[in-house]
Amino acid sequence: MPKDVEYYYARESVGVRGLSEEEYKDKANAQALKTISMQIRTTVSGQAQSSFKEKTTEEDGAFIDEFESESSTSTIADIQGAELFDSHTTSTTYWVVWRLKKSVHAENMEKYVNSAIAQYEGFSYMPSSDPVQQLQYLIPAYEDVVKVAGVPVVFEGKNLKTEIPNQISAILNSLRLMPDGETELTGQTGYALGKPLKVIVKADKNMNVVDIPILFSIESGELLFSKNLVMSAASGKASTKITNILSRKSVQQVRAKIDLKEWREDRLSELVSFENRLNEISRANSVLFTLDIKQVTQEKIAVITVGNDQSVFNEETLKRMNSVFRSEFADVTDFQLADEMLTEPIIESYKRDAALCSNEECQIQIGEKLGVERLCFVSVEYYPKVTTVTIFLRNIAKNELELQYGYDFPHKEWKERPPEKSNVFKRALSKAENAEEKYKNDDMKTEEYNDIMNETGPVINKYNEAIDKYNSRFKPHKDEMTDDIMVSIPEMVEDYWIRTNPGRLTLNCSFRGVKGEFNYLGTNRWFEKTFEERLPMRDEKFLEGSYELDINKLGYEKYHMRFDVAMGEFPQYDVNLKPKRPGKAFFRSFLIPGRGQIYSSDADNRGRLVMGMTYFVSTMACVGASGYLWNDFSKAKDIYEVAKLDYQNAVDINDVSSTQSIMSANHIIMSDKRSTAVLVTGLTVGLWVFNAIDAALFFPAKYKGRRLGMNVSPQFFAGEAGAKTKLSWNF
């Protein structure tokens, strides 16, 4: 740390783990500038003890210094003229040294004082009936004043450090910002708000209220404005529109206030502390709008079911399907259904033909005729191997297709196709239809009409007979498909309702690009059971249900969690991955041989898995062998004890001699078995201990982190320098 009385110095350090280079440098620089700021304030405090008050409090284990001044409302947050003196980066820490030349600081103070006085003098000539011109002078003067520390700012006997903010507050109190309409409104996620947000600036009769900047800012939620900054009209009125509600949060708020920042001289330069102060001043004179956001779609809809093959799904069948779909949409969803008596006449004009009614123009026409906000269009399409029921939800007003999803119903193979309409049949049918039309209009004689009918009748009847035969054979197959669809309609509607109103899932993870495997735990047969997504996830659409998440990241312990997502809600979870540690591998192998090696194994270190299994099998084999040998020794010992007792009880010299030899032989056998058992047990213990040491010693090098770390950082408490030391041990 350099020592030079001509400079203020600050040395700070931050950890670099989990941060980008830009992030940890910005953090260290901000801390250093704050430290210089505290040195300046401490110096000023020492020079003018009677003017400054100081209070130190403790909150959540951290000390907080609060400086108050009787003659100044400013705090130094942006240091003018400070420069980066030196920096150093280690594997875990970024160090930085900043300095500020005291003479440069003194020159800056003189510049700000002169500028503030000049701006305030300009304000003194402005008429009180023109608040806009007054604030055009006062705000720049206030910005200069808040940058001044240790120097008085006086004009004609007035202390400008208190005079200027008092004048600004007085002007704002004379401009009363009030709502010009409703402040509690209802909207829906994904759509514009139906009504504009309107305010009005009210003041004395002679005051000018034109061109006052009104800022609409989001207090909570996520919205898009047509304009977030608008100028008041001569009447004092101003308004904006919310063009899109992005968040599904149930209650969202927007605040309208007079934007004092618009009168800064240099609006492009960032001065966060000063702008926050201006926001606090204007907040006291503001209007708060509250939006009640509906969680699920509730608009009025019509349900229409059509088919692509009338020979398979005729008018009667489609009507039955439509009736069930309507019933389920009414029971399961929050949609309001249009009267079926109004729907049927319109759809009958299209003969329930998907080819006539599935195009965009037709659907919009139907929706407009019914006067509904959305049209739920169900198309039943028959193919040789599958029947697909596709549900469309179209926004009539916006002419947008909001959701399209198809449900497949595979059916038994049906190789036979309906008889084709030959060219001869088509000509005969056309000729018969023309003749019938002319005969009805009295444009054809009876004799001529009968001749044509006799000519075309056999051809048409032959085709109709073929169709009847085909239908008689196809009917069981068709009925089976129809029954399958009818039974599945409740499940389809429930699934479609969930897809119409997904939740918004947020999974916070300190690592980017981590691949997670999700497993759906519910019974909905239309849901994808297993899928992969990358973390972190921010406000991602997720269908309602219960899920399991599994993450297997190299170098980290396997992660498993279970979570739930509900319709229209926005759950948020933290995913904390724990790095694998040599210490954990040691303790795991110490408890169960090989477990530590298996713990440290992964796709890049498969040898650890093999080694773990080898240690486990070998150690368990040795444990089993040790147990067997000690049992064998126990039996040999029992035999020896019996022989020893026989020897002790022997009286005859011959018995003594024979029992002694038997006892000696049994003792040798027992000793050998004990030696073998001790040897194998020793090997078992050694192998067990070495297995634990191996787990830590040969832990994959690229996953090893710092075991012991110490971090020292400067701290300032009540103006006195100190140091904060952090000692950490990772195991």
Residue 164 lies in a domain: no
CA distance 277 to 260: 10
Residues 42 and 81 in one domain: yes
Residue 168 lies in a domain: no
CB 706 within 8 A of CB 727: no
| DSSP E strands, 447-544 | 503-509, 514-520, 530-535, 537-542
Q: Are strands 559-565 and 545-551 parallel, antiparallel or unpaired?
A: antiparallel
CA distance 704 to 698: 10
Beta-carbon contacts of 427 under 8 Å, excluding residues fewer than 6 positions away, are: none
What's the pLDDT score for residue 475? 57
Residue 43 lies in a domain: yes
Residues 135 and 17 in one domain: yes
| DSSP state at residue 49 | G
The total number of structural domains in the chain stands at: 5
CB 705 within 8 A of CB 555: no
Q: Phi and psi (nearest 5°) for 274?
A: -70, -45
Q: Three-state SS for 313?
A: coil
Residues 324 and 409 in one domain: yes
**Count of CB atoms situated within 10 Å of the CB of 151:** 15
**What global pTM score does this model have?**
0.50
Domain boundary among 575, 610, 627: 575
Residues 469 and 330 in one domain: yes
Closest CA to 498 of 519, 528, 518: 528
CB 134 within 8 A of CB 123: yes
Burial class (CB in 10 A: 0-12, 13-18, 19+), 304: buried
Residue 486 lies in a domain: yes
Strands across the sheet containing 237-240: 176-179, 197-202, 237-240
Mean pLDDT split into 10-residue runs, the chain, 731 residues: 84 88 87 79 49 44 41 46 88 90 84 89 89 90 80 84 88 89 83 87 88 92 92 92 84 92 75 78 89 70 79 81 89 79 63 57 75 84 84 83 89 66 85 87 86 87 79 64 88 91 87 91 90 89 92 91 86 89 91 91 87 92 94 92 88 84 91 93 93 90 62 48 58 51
Structure tokens at 102: 């005291």
Residues 624 and 651 in one domain: yes
CA distance 394 to 374: 6
CB 717 within 8 A of CB 56: yes
Q: Inter-axis angle of helices 315-332 and 446-500, to 10 degrees?
A: 20
Q: What is the number of residues in the chain?
A: 731
CB 622 within 8 A of CB 687: yes
CB 33 within 8 A of CB 9: no
**Cis peptide before 593, with omega less than 30 degrees from 0?**
no
Q: Phi and psi (nearest 5°) for 714?
A: -70, 145
Beta-carbon contacts of 276 under 8 Å, excluding residues fewer than 6 positions away, are: none
Burial class (CB in 10 A: 0-12, 13-18, 19+), 167: buried
Residues 358 and 428 in one domain: yes
Cα radius of gyration rounded to whole Å, the chain = 43
Residues 7 and 95 in one domain: yes
Assign residue 339 the CATH number of its domain: 3.40.50.10610
Closest CA to 242 of 289, 181, 176: 289
Assign residue 284 the CATH number of its domain: 2.60.40.10
CA distance 586 to 690: 10
Residues 11 and 95 in one domain: yes
CA distance 595 to 26: 43
- For residue 458, the cross-strand partners are none
Residue 88 lies in a domain: yes
Residue 394 lies in a domain: yes
- For residue 317, the cross-strand partners are none
643: left (phi over 0), alpha (psi -120 to 50) or beta: alpha
Closest CA to 330 of 285, 300, 362: 300
Residues 323 and 469 in one domain: yes
Residue 158 lies in a domain: no
Residues 673 and 724 in one domain: no
Domain boundary among 575, 603, 634: 575
Domain extent at residue 194: 175-294
Residues 448 and 314 in one domain: yes
Residues 679 and 612 in one domain: yes
Burial 343-376 (b: 16+ CB within 10 A, else e): beebbeebebbbeebbeeeebbbbbeebebbbbb
Domain boundary among 464, 495, 526: 495
Residue 166 lies in a domain: no
Helix (H) or strand (E) holding 595: helix 595-600
CA distance 122 to 136: 10
Q: Measure CA of the first residue to CA of the last residue in the chain; give whole Å.
A: 33
CA distance 111 to 114: 5
Q: Are strands 336-337 and 300-307 parallel, antiparallel or unpaired?
A: parallel
